[in-house]
Amino acid sequence: MNTAKKINYRTLAAYELAKSVPCPRRVNDVYSLGANLQYSIRAKYLEIADLDQENTRVTCTKLALKQMEIKKAIEKAGKHQLNLLIQYFYEHGGPVIEDPVSEQMVKDINPFFNRLMDNFLKSLDEAADRTARGEMSVSEMETDVNHNIINMFSALGNLFMVDEMRNAFHELVEIRESFA
């Protein structure tokens, strides 16, 4: 008998949030992307914790809380960059600050950006499914997720020919690595 897979609305909402983020045009967008992805990762850990498997519930709950700590670190880095931008604005007499990534560059990058995002979310689903089936431990899932998101941030950074965007993605990698 085939049973329908139960829909986890928390995960669905987190994925919709992550997929709704457009290709970044400014540094703030990079940090928003990083923070939004933390919700997706957190939702997957909570989904596994909800399975009521005693051996994974506590660990997954701790990992879900860890994602919020990572999110806070990403938001702190984003606020720091925003403060630097505001400082630049005032120090230079209030010039109009152009987005570092042009609309044409976004058009060129967007298919690759979407593919990298989709691949990451698919890998997150696969890791969670394998963990839920007992084919992968929670610690192996954590390692897999960290590896995949770091690779994705590195690949995204390489898509941009603008140093400040590359630096923002590099900072996301450093934040993830500092929590690994």
Q: Which amino acid is at 154?
A: S
Mean of the per-residue pLDDT values of the chain: 89
* DSSP, residue by residue, 36-70: HHHHHHHHHHHHHHTT--HHHHHHHHHHHHHHHHH
Amino acid 2: pLDDT: 46
pLDDT above 90: residue 71:
yes
pLDDT top residue among 84 and 67? 67
Average pLDDT on 88-106 reads: 82
How far apart CA 124 and CA 126 sit, in angstroms, is: 5
Amino acid 9: pLDDT: 63
Residue count of the chain, please give it: 180
**Residue carrying the six token digits 């880095």:** 77
Q: What pTM did the predictor assign?
A: 0.88
